[in-house]
Structure 1
């Protein structure tokens, strides 16, 4: 006797596998169900059959198992397909590479530790209830059609995730363009010093030294259009401005663990690619430790 027919888009390569594993688990529990496939173009229908008397008495348990499997497919596979559709529909002015980057960001938002334990579990529980209720009166379910017509709220929440991903992408794009501009300015500068040592003290302040570990004075940096007091810098932007103006051939960064804003290190590495080296302990570091 055919109990259920479940339509899964062929694009979901793992969807059928999830269903097959679920059938196997039910057999381990003593529920004898069989399955055959009906290929209908872009959709394959998985027909669930029950034959023996014991299985016929466990129809509700079978439907519960199937509802669990389908809800898992929706929140862990269909969601990615929906994200792509949302991007194609509402953000068609991005090129294919940009769309893929946005999709990757959106999928990352959904799959991070917090959302896996909150959003996905909550949505899966609600979707499970919807599917279970639907299968009470229906023997056939097309998963993609069910999502499109019965899970509007889920699609709306995915749209919000895509909007957030677009914002993050635009911010990253602007940042990359800004870094590219700073790198261009740095490359235009004549190097005013061959080696620059940056020591980060316990307060996160930047102290600058030459190759002989002598403090670099404000007089040396008088052409920089920022206020510079002695050899101490307290502002991340000030450090970047200084480095671009001085354009060192090599930059050594000491006591990097004291750096309060780790993004500054990434920025410096991107602007001065191939010129930045992290010190893991030297005479300058030791002298600073002694003075503390």
Structure 2
């Protein structure tokens, strides 16, 4: 028999459930035992004579760490090292962390070197099961996963920075939305073509030259937000405050496009560049 000792009974119970899910046959499940030693500590006993059960235990142990403990560790780092207490803030940062791990944020993942955590973890789990019949989960974490735990801090640090930037961005967007309140539109429609930069057109599809756009800019806008305001596109849009903005663009995920959408919300209409050229051709 092999024994894995947990200092936390909830951890032992979660791991036990993962093994049962992996095995899913009654005869093998009978070879797995969950024993509560006291109010806190518990053991999971596994029959090592059955190869299928050993392999299932490895897989369950890996999934238990990745899907349960990883979240707990990230949360612990946020609270104990960075002193976050607000649960909403913690949850938002955790969502950023998990989006990096799941490959959804390549821009942030690029900031972390040697970031294949799952591969490292799989190697560590395989080694401990091959080398020892019985071991303590908490000792495994303390000694076998020291470098792994240090790497978790990199994910937390980068995600905190990203969270702060997103908060600043949202405050910036909200400030600009407030600026639009009660402003009278100078144009009913504006058409913006995203092609070799951004070109403005009025409701009759006549180009608005750069010099004219500059004259329309509200100087208070630039003086109040000198760092954040894009004077080429955002400042003219805010100053003109059109009732409707048509964006002709192929990449709708372009940062400037998303920013315009976030500021002007329901006023924005997305169109393809082909639509613009077709209109100009027919017009």
TM-score tier after normalising by the smaller chain length: 0.7 to 0.9
Alignment of 1:242 with 2:239, yes or no, is no
Shift of 1:267: 0.3
- 1:24 and 1:33 mapped to 2: Cα distance? 11
On the 8 A contact 1:71/1:131 being kept in 2, the answer is no
Greater Rg by CA: 1
Q: How does 1:1-292 map to 2 (within 5 A)?
A: 2-7=1-6, 9-10=9-10, 15-24=15-24, 34-39=31-36, 40-41=38-39, 44-49=42-47, 55=49, 63=54, 66-112=57-103, 118-133=116-131, 135-136=132-133, 139=134, 141-187=135-181, 189-201=183-195, 203=196, 205-217=197-209, 218-219=211-212, 221-224=214-217, 237-254=231-248, 256-257=249-250, 262-280=254-272, 284-288=276-280
2:124, 2:144 within 8 Å by CA — same for their partners in 1? no
TM-superposed deviation, 1:125: 0.9
Q: Secondary structure at the match of 1:216?
A: coil
Give 3-state SS (helix, strand or coil) of 1:257's partner.
Answer: coil
Superposition CA RMSD, Å: 3.7
Q: CA shift at 1:258, angstroms? A: 6.2
Shift of 1:152: 2.0
Separation in 2 of the partners of 1:198 and 1:13?
58
Distance in 1 of aligned mates of 2:251 and 2:23: 55
- 1:110–1:171 Cα change, 3 Å: same
Q: Distance in 1 between matches of 2:214 and 2:144?
A: 66
User: After the TM superposition, which of the residue ranges 277-286 and 95-104 deviates more from structure 2?
Assistant: 277-286
Segments of 5+ residues of structure 2 without an aligned counterpart are 220-228
Partners of 2:177 and 2:156 in 1: how far apart? Answer: 31
Once the two structures are TM-superposed, the CA of residue 283 in structure 1 deviates from its matched residue by 7.0
Measure the CA separation in 2 of the matches of 1:178 and 1:46.
Answer: 52
Question: Are residues 79 and 289 of structure 1, via their aligned partners in 2, closer, same or farther at CA, if it must alter by over 3 Å?
Answer: farther
CA contact (8 A) 1:3 1:47 kept: yes
Structure 2 CA distance for aligned equivalents of residues 65 and 283 of structure 1: 56
Which segment is superposed worse, 276-285 or 265-274?
276-285
Q: Is the 8 A contact 2:218 2:239 kept in 1?
A: no
What TM-score, normalized to structure 1?
Answer: 0.74
Secondary structure of the corresponding residue to residue 177 of structure 2: helix
Q: 1:283 to 1:152 in 2, by over 3 A?
A: closer
Q: Which residue of 1 aligns with 2:222?
A: none
The answer to which of 159-168 and 186-195 deviates more is 186-195
Q: Distance in 2 between matches of 1:125 and 1:175?
A: 40
Question: In structure 2, what is the equivalent of residue 230 of structure 1?
Answer: none
> 1:63-119, CA deviations, whole angstroms, 9 ceiling, x for partnerless residues?
565345323422343111111111110122452211111112112222227879933
Give, in whole Å, the separation in 2 of the partners of 1:258 and 1:22.
Answer: 43
